[in-house]
Copies of this chain bind each other. A is one copy, B any other.
Amino acid sequence: MMDTMSNGGAGDMGVALLSRPALAVQVADALRELIMEGAIKSGEKIREKELTERFGVSRTPIREAMKILASEGLIELIPNRGAIISERSEEELADAFPVLAALEALAGEQAARRATDAELAEIVRLTVELRASLERQDRPHYFEINQAIHKAILVASRNETLMRSHATIAGLVHRARYQANLTRSRWEQALAEHERIAEALSARRADEVAALLKTHMMGKLAAILPGRGGPAD
């Protein structure tokens, strides 16, 4: 027992001696990871006992972790009947994406005003790398760099509250959905949008960055749910 997450001695990991996060938080992070990576399928029932065995801790921190994830909307808690991974209906996806788009637009707007020159240069560099990965047809790498760019914009916005909100919504729209439905033409279009975003960011044209990011995100939705993501929705 106590295999996966030792909370015992002080010199366990060599790092994090000062104020280790509570077990419940560690469990929540681990579970979130599992859910977002799709290791636990949507609609699946979560039994506390299984998690107890998987993580090697008692039910108490597990239950606390479930409360956290439930408040984020990642799982659904049914009284006396345990938790299930929330199914994301098409409707919920169609709801979540505009919110994500609005948050990213704001991130871009604030990043255009607040980012350091070095941060902007890094985003430009990543965008160049993005084109390279498209030309190599390297989807996993494209995907990775794409994530990094969006993350960099968030960070450059210097808005902690914004980052938290974004992380929550992004968690709902988990990434499995992203990679699918990426046709070559959509791929090219997305890259062109990214290049315009990088350019507008470099010129610190805040409003334009915001508009471009919003369009970009809604384009993603349209690629995922054809017929629902149009700008007129």
Q: Which residue of B lies closest to A60 (CB)?
A: B60
CA distance in complex: A114, B95 (Å): 12
Query: Could you say which of A19-27, A36-44, A134-142, A176-184 contacts chain B?
Result: A19-27
The reply to whether A71 and B73 contact each other, CB–CB distance below 8 Å, is: no
Asked if A172 lies at the interface with its beta carbon under 8 angstroms from chain B, I say yes
The reply to whether A162 and B99 contact each other, CB–CB distance below 8 Å, is: yes
0/1 interface trace, chain A 54-97, chain B, CB 8 Å (1 if under): 00000010011101101111000111100000000000100110
Chain A interface mostly: helix
Known contacts A73-B164, A161-B169, A169-B161; A98 and B106 CB within 8 A of each other: yes
Q: How far is the CB of A32 from chain B (nearest CB, A)?
A: 11
Q: How far is the CB of A4 from chain B (nearest CB, A)?
A: 19
The reply to whether B169 and A165 contact each other, CB–CB distance below 8 Å, is: yes
Q: How far is the CB of A46 from chain B (nearest CB, A)?
A: 15
A125-175 residues with Cβ-Cβ distance < 8 A to B are 159-162, 164-165, 168-169, 172
Residue numbers in B under 8 Å from A78 (CB-CB): 19
Asked if A105 lies at the interface with its beta carbon under 8 angstroms from chain B, I say yes
The reply to whether A172 and B161 contact each other, CB–CB distance below 8 Å, is: yes
Asked if A12 lies at the interface with its beta carbon under 8 angstroms from chain B, I say no
The reply to whether A80 and B19 contact each other, CB–CB distance below 8 Å, is: yes
CA distance in complex: A106, B217 (Å): 14
Q: How far is the CB of A73 from chain B (nearest CB, A)?
A: 7
Query: Which one, B72, B79, B164, contacts A21 given CB within 8 A?
Result: B79
Q: Which of A65, A102, A110 has the most CB of B within 10 A?
A: A102
Q: How far is the CB of A87 from chain B (nearest CB, A)?
A: 14
CA distance in complex: A162, B165 (Å): 11
What are 17 residue pairs bridging A and B, where the CB atoms are less than 8 Å apart in the complex?
A19-B80, A22-B79, A60-B60, A63-B64, A65-B67, A67-B67, A71-B72, A73-B164, A95-B161, A95-B162, A96-B161, A98-B159, A99-B162, A99-B165, A102-B103, A113-B233, A114-B233
15 more CB-based (< 8 A) A-B contacts, given A95-B160, A102-B106, A168-B168? A19-B78, A19-B79, A21-B79, A22-B79, A64-B67, A68-B70, A68-B71, A71-B72, A92-B161, A95-B162, A98-B162, A110-B233, A161-B169, A161-B172, A165-B169
